[in-house]
């Protein structure tokens, strides 16, 4: 799925937590964003002009992204008039919700009448989901994995893409979730792929490439999550990573929402992910640890990162506080020896 840009970001009447998708797009791809579109009562400010759909189209926007998720992943009826206004202004629509734009009769009819496109990024097309072959592909791949969900896997992969490109290394972020797809402009939402095809989707997402090219594949779930381990394993096998980045949230002692499941030690997480990855790439290794330290003070965070680095003998960074340069250096050293 390839999305047209520039974007207008619809934040409705959301609060900052509900509008995380829009915030992620604005943070990582500000050059693709021309406006935010809101409703009365919205408390979100993405630090860009607040325009009407018609004004956003006049400013160059081609696509209106529904950048928020209401409870249950539905398209709220109160949003529909603004979405219809956007279609009439000449904008295509995109959303990553469980409720599909194409299933809204008013939107589907208007899009057909006006010749507009509706992009439901959580609905992979059949041609994007072949069976996995297991065959080795040229190029290099780095997959972010985690001790839990929501520990910064997308952020770590995007930060590494930016750092590698800064060094003149050919690198591309490969999105596997709806927010990542909006940031990258393409990708596959693997949580909507039939389980038999997840590994094949990962293969298709990171195809053969130049020998020194890096694909930074966005991870999903966790091998240690009682509900989402399956999607992680499919991504591991299909992406055939040469390198893995282990992501963790400082202070989290159990799987979020599952208090009877303790967070694995970093040592166990490294061993389990390497073992799983070596089915399709015998040389797969964890080359660094990315930690979300956002709930800690600056000094506590830096002390924690130093302790983990000493304990594991691997570079340990917070992409926001410290950047990921040491992990990028380790990644390139690893590539030079394989």
Write down the pLDDT at residue 244.
98
Rounded Cα–Cα distance for residues 82 and 62 (Å)? 15
Q: Could you give the angle at which helices 325-336 and 153-166 cross, rounded to 10 degrees? A: 70
Q: Model confidence over 74-95: pLDDT tens digits?
A: 888 999 999 999 999 999 999 9
pLDDT of 242 higher than 70 = yes
Q: Region 291-317: what's the mean pLDDT? A: 97
**pLDDT at res. 192:** 86
pLDDT at 127 (0 to 100): 57
pLDDT at 249 over 60: yes
Q: What does the alpha-carbon distance between residue 188 and residue 129 come to, in Å, rounded to a whole number?
A: 9
**Interval 151-173: pLDDT, tens:** 999 999 999 999 999 999 999 99
What pLDDT was estimated at residue 2? 78
Helix (H) or strand (E) holding 331: helix 325-336
Q: How far is CA 112 from CA 4, 8, 92, 109, 299, in A?
A: 18, 21, 11, 5, 56
Give the Cα separation of 119 and 202 in Å (integer): 20
Does residue 305 have a pLDDT over 70? yes
| pLDDT reported for residue 14 | 85
Question: What pLDDT score was predicted for residue 70?
Answer: 65
Domains and their CATH numbers in the chain: 7-123 (3.40.50.720), 130-336 (3.40.50.300)
| Mean pLDDT for all residues in the chain | 94
Q: What confidence score (pLDDT) does residue 102 get? A: 94
Stretch 203-207: mean pLDDT: 94
Q: Stretch 230-235: mean pLDDT, rounded?
A: 96
Query: Looking at 68-72, 204-208, 233-237, which range is the least confident one?
Result: 68-72
pLDDT number for residue 72: 61
At residue 130, φ and ψ (nearest 5 deg) are -80, 170
End-to-end CA distance of the chain: 33
The better pLDDT of the pair 60, 191 is held by: 60
CA atoms of 153 and 162, how far apart (whole Å): 14
Average pLDDT over residues 38-49: 92
d(CA 163, CA 330): 12
**pTM, rounded to two decimals:** 0.90
Q: What is the structure's pLDDT at 128?
A: 54
């Amino acid at each position: 799925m390839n999305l047209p840009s520039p974007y207008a970001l619809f934040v409705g009447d959301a609060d900052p937590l509900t509008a995380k998708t829009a915030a992620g797009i604005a943070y990582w791809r500000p050059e693709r964003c021309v406006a935010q579109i809101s409703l009365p009562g919205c408390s979100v400010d993405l630090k860009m002009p607040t325009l009407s759909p018609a004004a956003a189209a006049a400013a160059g926007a081609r696509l209106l992204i529904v950048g928020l998720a209401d409870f249950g992943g539905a398209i709220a009826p109160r949003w529909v008039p603004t979405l219809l206004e956007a279609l009439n202004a000449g904008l295509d629509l995109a959303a990553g919700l469980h409720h599909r734009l194409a299933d809204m009769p008013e939107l589907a009819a208007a899009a057909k009448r006006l010749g507009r496109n509706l992009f439901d990024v959580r609905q992979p097309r059949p041609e994007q989901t072949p069976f996995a072959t297991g065959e080795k592909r040229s190029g290099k791949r780095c997959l972010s994995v985690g001790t839990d969900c929501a520990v910064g896997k997308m952020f770590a992969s995007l930060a590494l893409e930016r750092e590698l490109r800064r060094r003149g290394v050919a690198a591309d972020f490969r999105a596997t979730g709806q927010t990542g797809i909006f940031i990258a402009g393409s990708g596959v939402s693997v949580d909507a792929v039939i389980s038999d095809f997840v590994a094949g989707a990962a293969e298709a997402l990171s195809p053969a490439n130049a020998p020194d090219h890096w694909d930074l594949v966005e991870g999903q779930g966790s091998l240690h999550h009682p509900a989402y381990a399956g999607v992680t394993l499919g991504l591991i096998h299909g992406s055939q990573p040469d390198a893995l980045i282990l992501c963790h949230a400082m202070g989290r002692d159990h799987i979020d929402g599952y208090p009877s499941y303790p967070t694995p030690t970093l040592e166990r997480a490294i061993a389990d992910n390497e073992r799983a990855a070596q089915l399709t790439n015998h040389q797969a290794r964890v080359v660094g640890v990315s930690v979300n330290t956002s709930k800690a003070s600056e000094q506590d965070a830096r002390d924690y990162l130093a302790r983990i680095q000493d304990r594991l003998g691997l570079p340990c960074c917070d992409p926001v506080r410290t950047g990921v340069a040491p992990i990028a250096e380790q990644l390139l050293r690893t590539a030079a020896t394989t």
